[in-house]
Amino acid sequence: QAPLHVAATKAAGLHGSVFETHNNSVFTARSFFQAGPVQPARENHYGFQLGAPLWRGATLSLDGSQQKVRGSVNGNVLVPKADERTPLAADPATRAVVSRFLAAYPRQLPNRTDINERALNINAPQLIDGHDARVRLDQRAGDRDRLTLLYGFTGQHVDAFQFVAGQNPDTDTKSHSVRLTWSRQWSAETVTDFSAGYDRARSLLAPEPNAVGPLVLTGMVVEQLGPDETLPIDRADNRYRAAGALHHVRGPHYFHFGFEVLRRHINGSEQQAHRGIVFFSNDFGRDALTNLRLGAASRYNLALGGIHRGFRNWDLQFYAGDTWRRGRWTLDYGLRYQPVTSPVEVNRLSTVPYHCDCDNLAPRLGIAYQLPRPWGVLRAAYGLHYGEIFPVTYQQVRFNPPANLTVVITEPYLPDPLRSLRPADLRPDARTSFRELSPDLVAPYSHQYNFSWEPELSKKWKLQLG
């Protein structure tokens, strides 16, 4: 994650700049993969930057930019052949559903039969809009204190390419970042930094308007009709952060101590077959595509239940270190403590079973020695580094019973797949799948070490052995 402390800036006085760049398909070489004539495309990227003094000791900085991309994506998909595009279902309601499924495929017929008898190479338009903005205020108080307030915003909207209707989700992402840093130079030897921050990332991945609804699978006889079963996703990741650092020079030593505390709030909904999945396969003495045209599905899966959750946990770290230089020697050593707490669901709708991983001590050591010329430099280092338990791992517990159940209907009636479902089929002791996390789950870690020798063979040549 991004550093919390905001570094000082050297800019002074009134200054600024503006820019604009444009590119399009007229001035760009043809894409290597593209079907038919060159598709129109254009990209505009423009923005500004401004810095100005406000009052004594205060400087304001503004910058912003936008990027707009309009173009096409090329790819191969499997589509029905000319004689496979007519529904065969006799029931009018089933025929209407099958017609909607078949209409999701592009009108173009297969044109890469050398690859597959149903392969189509096709272009599809895609739109991307990006936005960036930042505001920074620096206030100096005397020669020792600096206060910095920083706000940044990044947003992106994507109308995704669709070789078949609903293949990819449209996405909206918005990221906000706020930083407040107080830096004080107590003396020529001692500096402290204290910071508070807030980060928010909002992600929305939604089926595009022409999607057929459920996920339709045919065992890749033709392209699946999507998007994926995990969509839509509507997630907000909020991180509240505080940190402090002390740097002190004493003789040949450069000491540094610090901490960071992070409180994470993750709110939102994710899906797992809650839109439904329709399976057409080689069944009933027929191939999968014929069963699709007949509306004769082998199976229908649907997840039922509430999927909105709010997870909370703490990330902590405390560290101390020293860089010692004396003569030809440089020694760098330190220790970091990184406990990982168990997350909780704020409404107690789900239980995360693993406990605090509270013994994560991470030592590090680095040594460098300057040998007499021309023997060069010897270097060696070791460190124990911890990763993290990603939220996507523990958030899967939202799909567990009794709050969520998945029903499986064999040979469903396509216009109303759940018409054979009875309340008794949803009893709590019914057979179901369960996502389980190991109670001894811990953060991953790695031991990293190296050794190198760099002799000088001449003024122009060095050899590195490691």
Which of 244, 304, 248, 254 has its CA nearest to residue 274?
A: 304
DSSP 8-state code for residue 193:
E
Q: Looking at residue 158, what is its pLDDT?
A: 97
Q: Give average pLDDT by consecutive 10-residue segment, the chain, 466 residues.
A: 78 87 83 71 95 91 96 93 96 97 96 93 94 95 92 97 95 96 95 96 95 95 94 95 96 96 95 94 95 97 93 94 95 95 92 87 96 92 93 89 89 94 79 82 94 91 92
**Which residues are paired to 365 by β-bridges?**
333, 382
Which of 220, 411, 236 has its CA nearest to residue 312?
A: 236
Q: Looking at residue 285, what is its pLDDT?
A: 94
Q: Looking at residue 426, what is its pLDDT?
A: 81
Q: Looking at residue 144, what is its pLDDT?
A: 92
Can you tell me whether residue 293 is helix, strand or coil?
Answer: helix
Q: Looking at residue 424, what is its pLDDT?
A: 79
Segment (H or E) for 393? helix 391-394
Three-state SS for 51-115 is: EEECCCCEEEEEEEEEEEEEEEEEEEEECCCHHHCCCCCCCHHHHHHHHHHHHCCCCCCCCCCCC
Residue 149's φ and ψ, nearest 5 degrees, are -115, 125
Segment (H or E) for 255? strand 253-269
Residues 6+ away with beta carbon under 8 Å from 452: 378, 379, 380, 464, 465, 466
Output the pTM of the full model: 0.85
Q: Looking at residue 11, what is its pLDDT?
A: 63
Q: Looking at residue 196, what is its pLDDT?
A: 97
